Structure 1
Amino acid sequence: MTRRHDMNTGVRRAIRPALGALPLAAAIACAGVAQAIPQPGVTTGPAQPAAPSTDSTRQPGTTVAPPAPQVNYAVPQDHRPVPVETEPAPAVNWQQLHAPEPVAPVAPIAPPPRTVRIGDFTTPAPDALPDAILTPVNDAAAGTEAALSTGLQSVGINPSRSDKIAAGTAGGAVLGAAIVGIPSAIGGAIGGGLIGAGIGAGIGAGIGVAIVAGTAVAAGVPTGGLGAAIAAPAAVPIIGGGALIGAGVGAAAGAALGAAAIGIPAAVLGGVAGGAAGGFLGGAF
Structure 2
Amino acid sequence: MNTGVLRHAIRPAVGVLPLALAIACAAAAQAVPQPGVTTGPAQPGTSSSPAQPGTTVKPAPPQSSPQVDYVVPENHRPIPADTAPAPAIDWQSLHAPEPVEPVAPIAPPPRTVRVGDFYTPAPDQLPDEILNPVNGFSADAEAGLSTALNSVGIDPSRSDKIAGMTAAGAVGGAALLGIPGAAAGALGGGIGGGIIGAGVGAAIGAGIGVGIVAATAAAAGAASGGIGAAIAAPEAIPVIGGGALIGLGVGAAVGAVGGAALGAAAVGIPMAVLGGVGGGIAGAAIGGAF
TM-score normalised by L of structure 1:
0.73
Partner residue in 1 for 2:262 = 257
Structure-2 residue corresponding to 1:154: 151
For residues 251 and 197 of structure 1, what CA distance do their matches in structure 2 show?
Answer: 4
Q: Distance in 2 between matches of 1:228 and 1:158?
A: 87
C-alpha separation between the residues in 2 aligned to 1:240 and 1:204? 9
Aligned to 2:39: none
Give secondary structure in 1 for the equivalent of 2:233: helix
Query: Shift in Å at residue 131 of structure 1?
Result: 1.2
Aligned to 1:138: 135
> 2:237 — aligned with what?
232
- Stretches of structure 2 lacking an aligned partner (at least 5 in a row): 1-54, 56-66, 219-225
Q: Which runs of 5+ in 1 are unaligned?
A: 1-53, 55-69
1:269 to 267, 271, 274: 274
| CA shift in 2, pair 1:195/1:71, >3 Å | closer
Check the 8 A contact 2:209/2:242 in 1, yes or no.
no
Deviations 1:138-172 (A, max 9, x none): 11110010001111111111100000000000000
Q: Residue 123 of structure 2 aligns with which residue?
A: 126
Q: Which one of 61, 71, 81 corresponds to residue 84 of structure 1?
A: 81
For 1:198, the equivalent position in structure 2 comes to 195
CA–CA distance in 2 between the matches of 1:201 and 1:242? 7
Q: Look up the match of 1:109.
A: 106
| DSSP 3-state at the match of 1:75 | coil
**Partner of 2:168 in structure 1?**
171
CA distance in 1, matches of 2:150, 2:117: 19
Preserved contact between residue 214 and residue 231 of structure 2 (Cα < 8 Å): no
The letter of the residue matching 2:90 is: N
Write the deviation string for residues 97-118 of structure 1: whole angstroms up to 9, x where unpaired.
1111111110000111111100
Q: Map residues 201-212 of structure 1 onto 2, 5 A cutoff.
A: 201-212=198-209
Residues 1:167 and 1:234: Cα distance change in structure 2 (over 3 Å): same
The CA RMSD measured in Å over matched residues stands at: 1.8
Which whole-Å deviations, capped at 9, do the CAs of 1:20-66 have from their partners, x for residues lacking one? xxxxxxxxxxxxxxxxxxxxxxxxxxxxxxxxxx9xxxxxxxxxxxx
1:23 is matched with which residue?
A: none
Runs of 4+ residues deviating >6 angstroms: none
- The structure having more radius of gyration, on CA atoms, is 1
**Whole-Å separation in 2 of the counterparts to 1:139 and 1:121:** 14
Structure 1 residue 225, shift from structure 2 partner: 8.5
| Cα drift, residue 73 of structure 1 | 0.6
Render the CA deviation track for 1:209-242: whole Å, top value 9, x for unaligned: 2222334344355545995201001122211111
Within-5 A mapping of 1:12-31: none
CA distance in 2, matches of 1:157, 1:282: 12
